[in-house]
Amino acid sequence: MTDSWLRAAETLGSDLHLELTGAGSRRAVLMRALRDAIRTGRLAPGTKLPPYRSLAADLGIARNTVADAYAELVAEGWLTARQGSGTRVARRAEPLRPAPVRRRPPQPHARPVLDLVQGKPDPSAFPRAAWLASARRALNVAPNEAFGPGDPHGRIELRRALTEYLARVRGVRTEPDRIVICTGFAGALRLLARVLGWSGAPADGPAPLAVESYGLPFHRSLLADAEVRTVPLPIDEHGAVVDALSGPTARGTGTVLLTPAHQFPTGGPLHPERRSAVVDWARTGGGLVLEDDYDGEFRYDRQPVGAVQGLDPDRVVYLGSVSKALSPALRMGWMVLPGHLVEPVIAAKGQREPWTSALEQLTLADFIESGGYDRHVRRMRQRYRSRRDQLVAALAEHAPHIRVTGIAAGLHAVLGLPPGTERAVVRDAVWQGLALEGLAPYRHPECPTPPVDGLVVGYATPPDHAYPDALQALCRTLPPAQTP
């Protein structure tokens, strides 16, 4: 009999999947399939089997064959049969358990138990009750068409909610028709790479995309996979040095990717003069600014810095998501596009593009409009500010020689290290059970300035009860003060 997955027991309102394989009579093959299903736990003890007439009809075999198989398995102890109760899997027929894993002594490279890696909000802080309430309200009022084929623009309810929210909180100037919902920043960057091409005339070679000299390596890899060449802009305490866009290294560049609200990962907002300068550069040369507003809501020293997009909506693409404010598990972000890019982006998404769930979009729309999103962000801003303060206090007490920067905003800070010590500190952190990243992976391979040793410390992820231990482990890994 050929291998196949056969379905039975439809008269009981449930499915029974049996893999009939191997040689032998039909009775033998059926018995072997039932034993395997019971042994592996697919048929749990107490499960009622279909009447043999139903199973025989579904499998296309004689009723007597199924009856004989049932009877023999009852005799073997695999099944039980009682008048009026039908045939069931025997209670004592337990599935096989996997062999116990031999425990090895802890190794220094074992998975760390304390997580100070940047970029991840505290998963325990997700507002489950408020999100569930929004989901219920959204489902109750959702139009029928919301359960049909999706709109590549995204749900209009969410785009309207974002139009109001982004204008109020981030100073973004837009309208619902210029917002496209996507699966996050990475999904947006892939779409823009497809639409914009970032390639010039063949004689001139591909036009590069300018990026900050320190940034997320995943984004550079994504662009490299799309065959996009990137050129780094120097950064200093005022953010990206945008004047370099007119220099020889960035010649021919028509697009620049920036993190103006909070330079990633070194920290600090883009200086007001540079914000104006990069918009003027885009206007003069017909260029485009991609604004990654990855954690713009989380500023602790004063009101958040508004979006660059507000200076010129026709020359800036604003990119945002809920990955820092809510959870990366939602896979939900948005692009606020210049008018001329909306249709090309929609065409690039296509009718089979993996989209964010329409139900989650409706839930987020309600969450924003009901004020739940604002309340959650305010609560998390206070929580993360307290985490930031605890980090700064621990360093002041145990490692006052370590300089910490980028603490005015965001979910991480940068710790300066003595030259040549970064690799050893990251290695030693593993012995402390600590997940920690150095600054080196964030540096562009063609960065025009010498490398700087440091740590990128994310303070959002550990639960409250584990955070003090994480800070103690961090301080133990830091190098001592250097003697003159």
Domain boundaries, the chain: 5-89, 114-123+375-477, 126-371
Least trusted range by pLDDT, from 51-60, 80-89, 107-116: 107-116
Q: For residue 93, is pLDDT > 60?
A: no
CATH number of 114-123+375-477: 3.90.1150.10
What is the residue whose two structure tokens read 């408020």? 130
What is the residue whose two structure tokens read 């893999």? 19
Q: For residue 291, is pLDDT > 80?
A: yes
- pLDDT single digits (tens) 203-244: 445 578 999 999 999 899 888 888 888 999 999 999 999 999
Cα–Cα distances in angstroms (integers) from residue 378 to residues 65, 169, 300, 382, in the given order: 68, 12, 11, 6
Tell me the two tokens of residue 311: 């200076």
CATH number of 5-89: 1.10.10.10
- Matching fold, domains 114-123+375-477 and 126-371: no
Put the strands of the sheet holding 316-321 in their side by side order.
179-182, 333-336, 316-321, 288-292, 255-258, 209-212, 230-233
Tell me the two tokens of residue 433: 């059970």
Q: Work out the percent of the chain whose per-residue pLDDT is above 70.
A: 89
Please compute, for residue 97, the number of CA atoms within 13 A of its CA located in the half-sphere on the CB side: 4
CATH number of 126-371: 3.40.640.10
Q: How far is it, in rounded angstroms, from Cα 484 to Cα 480?
A: 12
Q: How far is it, in rounded angstroms, from Cα 291 to Cα 258?
A: 5
- pLDDT single digits (tens) 426-479: 999 988 889 999 999 999 999 988 899 999 999 998 988 999 999 999 999 999
Q: How far is it, in rounded angstroms, from Cα 297 to Cα 294?
A: 9
Question: What pLDDT score does 11 carry?
Answer: 35
Question: What pLDDT score does 91 carry?
Answer: 79
- Whether the Cβ atoms of residue 317 and residue 192 lie closer than 8 Å to each other: yes
Question: What pLDDT score does 15 carry?
Answer: 57
Q: How far is it, in rounded angstroms, from Cα 168 to Cα 395?
A: 36
Which residues partner with 333 through β-bridges? 182, 321
Cα dihedral sign, 303-129-324-185: negative
What is the residue whose two structure tokens read 């020293």? 301
Given pLDDT bands bounded at 50, 70 and 90, which one contains residue 274? very high
Cα–Cα distances in angstroms (integers) from residue 47 to residues 80, 88, 90, in the given order: 10, 5, 8
- pLDDT single digits (tens) 102-137: 555 445 545 567 899 998 888 899 999 999 999 999
Return the exposure string of 352-383: e unless at least 16 CB atoms fall within 10 Å of the residue's CB, then b. eeebbebebbbbbbbbbbbebbeebbeebbee
Given pLDDT bands bounded at 50, 70 and 90, which one contains residue 83? confident
Put the strands of the sheet holding 412-416 in their side by side order.
404-405, 412-416, 454-458, 437-438
Q: Taking Cα atoms as reference points, which of 274, 300, 323, 295 lies closest to residue 391?
A: 300
Instruction: Output the pTM of the full model.
Output: 0.78
